[in-house]
Chains A and B, each alone.
Chain A
């Protein structure tokens, strides 16, 4: 369970990215966070694993306060939280397998991790993760040789290899074309359903948000301005979140989109 209690984040340059956020995300939920860029979506997601430290309020992940964690506790927390990025963040020059195995680093000893002697068990976890996103046969291919959609699946497998309880995804489909975006979102949803991993995804496409979110959280200027189910989030709600009328840019599939 993730609990935000009046959480605020102010960056060193004075920008207030989160402003008194109160949220409770129960285990196993698939949450989509929507809002314009700069609304605080990325910050919200990044406070959960402490990459961005909360500067005010209290944030509990499974009952443990994130802000009070020391370096070691923070690493343990992060090992239980997978993360997926807009730009995939893979090491292109090495194999898919090595990229996925970096998800096992938190449990690897010094020598093992320096020389890359991963245990058979670790390798099996990595294979299993690759199998779940359907690119097992690419295990020993260089990451740079994959397409964007395949690279994002590798990144999901890396997150899965951590055997996480929570999966965070920051704009995971923003760099992908519409059909691939939909496929990646389906992968995330399937993993959420099959493994019960709590999933928090940032999106700015409202059709994807409606289709996949059990729950939609709308953010504007660092504040939560909407919190409800996908069905409740109609165009009027989105217009109030975005503070403007909707355009074709706000949906992935232009023809099927509600405002086309």
Chain B
């Protein structure tokens, strides 16, 4: 005790740094909590119905499971499976063509939306147009514009997916373009190449793998979007899904969902593999092999 008394100056030097103010983060947290509470209070959802998840849902799920495990080679189940699979394939076709349309439309647009390849004003305008396209749900696009023009069916769906894809694809691609190494551009400028030639030989080779990977990524998203467009009559498996739920044919609902899940998961896996391959580039596996061989030697 006496020792402590003999060292009064230490007290001053041991003042601890004060922690930085937490006011900002606390305020943010409170505001967010208030927003959520307000939403819960206002939404007039019947929360008691949540109990149905434990009472009703298991019964329906069991019914769905029965449909899945029925012998698929007997009528009418074989026909149900074939029908669902055929419609899912139609959804995939819509997604593929939609992605293709989106790719073709967004490729030139992305150069207009990149600040290193287009003038400022053009970039700002193009970006806002892309943002507006992104804001429109595909299903609304199908309902409002594509079905009136192309009629009911998968063509309208593919068109809706195509136009809908331009928003994200244009944005992602333009960001890839903005991320390029400027060196080759400068070199081509110094070699007397025109603006268009500079894009073709300095920008495109640098960004094409990324952009193609974005196309595949968008294809994966479009599979999901294409699976529901049928609800408004724009083709694909969505059309039958809506009818089945209205008719409460749980067995068929079950097998249709299984078809959607299995096909989507498989196509996702393939697409992801191809994307990795494209990003790594054809030279990369060879180079990696060379390294491995060198290590082995």
A and B touch in the complex (CB under 8 A): yes
Which A residues form the contact surface with B (CB < 8 A)? Answer: 49, 51, 75-83, 85, 87-94, 98, 102-103, 105-106, 108, 110, 113-114, 142, 144-145, 155, 158-159, 162, 168
Which residues of A are found within 8 Å of B205, using beta-carbon distances?
91, 93-94, 98
Are the CB atoms of A113 and B200 closer together than 8 Å? yes
Interface of B is mostly: helix
Which B residues form the contact surface with A (CB < 8 A)? Answer: 181, 183-184, 186-194, 196-197, 200-202, 205-206, 208-209, 281, 283, 287
Which residues of A are found within 8 Å of B183, using beta-carbon distances?
85, 87-90
Are the CB atoms of A106 and B186 closer together than 8 Å? no
Are the CB atoms of A145 and B287 closer together than 8 Å? yes
Are the CB atoms of B201 and A145 closer together than 8 Å? no
Kindly provide the distance from the CB of A260 to the nearest chain B CB, expressed in whole angstroms: 34
State the 10 A-B residue pairs at the shortest beta-carbon distance, nearest first: A89-B183, A79-B192, A78-B192, A106-B192, A89-B187, A83-B190, A105-B193, A94-B205, A75-B192, A142-B283
Per the bound structure, the CA–CA distance linking A77 and B186 in Å amounts to 15
The residue in chain B whose Cβ has the minimal distance to the Cβ of A144 is B283
Are the CB atoms of A102 and B192 closer together than 8 Å? no
Checking B190, B200, B281 against A49 with a beta-carbon cut-off of 8 angstroms, the contacting residue is B190
Per the bound structure, the CA–CA distance linking A51 and B184 in Å amounts to 14
The residue in chain A whose Cβ has the minimal distance to the Cβ of B281 is A93
Which residues of B are found within 8 Å of A93, using beta-carbon distances?
205-206, 208-209, 281
Which residues of B are found within 8 Å of A78, using beta-carbon distances?
189-192
Per the bound structure, the CA–CA distance linking A88 and B202 in Å amounts to 13
Per the bound structure, the CA–CA distance linking A79 and B181 in Å amounts to 22
Are the CB atoms of A106 and B193 closer together than 8 Å? yes
Can you list 13 residue pairs at the A/B interface with Cβ under 8 Å? A77-B192, A83-B191, A85-B186, A89-B183, A93-B205, A98-B201, A98-B205, A102-B188, A105-B191, A106-B191, A110-B196, A113-B197, A162-B192
Per the bound structure, the CA–CA distance linking A51 and B192 in Å amounts to 10
Are the CB atoms of B190 and A51 closer together than 8 Å? yes
Per the bound structure, the CA–CA distance linking A155 and B200 in Å amounts to 18
Which residues of B are found within 8 Å of A87, using beta-carbon distances?
183
Which residues of A are found within 8 Å of B192, using beta-carbon distances?
75-80, 105-106, 162
Kindly provide the distance from the CB of A169 to the nearest chain B CB, expressed in whole angstroms: 11
Are the CB atoms of B191 and A155 closer together than 8 Å? no
The residue in chain B whose Cβ has the minimal distance to the Cβ of A83 is B190
Which residues of A are found within 8 Å of B184, using beta-carbon distances?
89-91
The residue in chain B whose Cβ has the minimal distance to the Cβ of A114 is B200
Kindly provide the distance from the CB of B106 to the nearest chain A CB, expressed in whole angstroms: 19
Which residues of A are found within 8 Å of B201, using beta-carbon distances?
91, 98, 102, 105, 113
Q: Identify the interface centre among A93, A113, A145, A155: most chain B CB within 10 Å of its CB.
A: A93
The residue in chain B whose Cβ has the minimal distance to the Cβ of A75 is B192
Are the CB atoms of A102 and B189 closer together than 8 Å? no
Which residues of A are found within 8 Å of B193, using beta-carbon distances?
75, 102, 105-106, 113
Which residues of B are found within 8 Å of A110, using beta-carbon distances?
196
Are the CB atoms of A102 and B191 closer together than 8 Å? yes
Per the bound structure, the CA–CA distance linking A75 and B195 in Å amounts to 10
The residue in chain B whose Cβ has the minimal distance to the Cβ of A49 is B190
Q: Identify the interface centre among A105, A113, A159: most chain B CB within 10 Å of its CB.
A: A105
Which residues of A are found within 8 Å of B187, using beta-carbon distances?
83, 85, 89-90, 102, 155, 158
Per the bound structure, the CA–CA distance linking A105 and B265 in Å amounts to 46
Which residues of A are found within 8 Å of B200, using beta-carbon distances?
113-114
Which residues of A are found within 8 Å of B196, using beta-carbon distances?
110, 113-114
The residue in chain A whose Cβ has the minimal distance to the Cβ of B198 is A105
The residue in chain A whose Cβ has the minimal distance to the Cβ of B208 is A93
